[in-house]
Structure 1
Amino acid sequence: MLVSNSDRAARLHYMANGFRVLTPGDHVVCGASGARIPIDMLRYWSVARQQAFATAQLASEALAPR
């Protein structure tokens, strides 16, 4: 039986120049907004926090010093 990755969150390991898929899926969840980000649209993440972000603005706000 084949298992589809559709509608399943992936688990990724974020690195400086990319990411490694630990558990296959079709999306990840934004660490700031909770929005679903399709894997092929993922552009912003934090290596230190191991979080994905939906937009550059959300990433900047989340990572800004307080």
Structure 2
Amino acid sequence: MLMSFTDRPASLSYGPNGFRVLSPGHYVTCAVTGEKIALEALRYWSVERQEPYASADIATRHLLDQA
């Protein structure tokens, strides 16, 4: 039987130039909004905090709020 990962979150390791899949899945959850982000659409994350963001605006606001 083939397993589908479309309903499972992926576990990723975030690096400065990309991310590595630690556990397969179809999406990650935005650290700020809780929105599901398809891996194909994931463009913004924090290497230091190891967390994904749904948009550049959300990432910027979150990182500025934490400073």
Tell me the TM-score normalised to structure 1 length.
Answer: 0.95
Read off the aligned partner of 2:49 and give its amino acid letter: R
1 CA distance for matches of 2:16 and 2:39?
Answer: 17
2 CA distance for matches of 1:26 and 1:10?
Answer: 6
In structure 2, runs of 5+ residues without a counterpart are none
CA RMSD of aligned residues (A): 0.9
In structure 1, runs of 5+ residues without a counterpart are none
- State how many pairs are aligned: 66
Post-superposition offset of 1:17: 0.1
Task: Provide Cα deviations, 1:26-57, integer angstroms capped at 9, x if missing partner.
Answer: 00000010000000000000000000000001
Give the structure with the larger helix fraction: 2
2 CA distance for matches of 1:49 and 1:62?
Answer: 11
Report % sequence identity.
Answer: 48
Indicate the residue corresponding to 1:3 in structure 2: 3
Q: Secondary structure at the match of 1:33?
A: coil
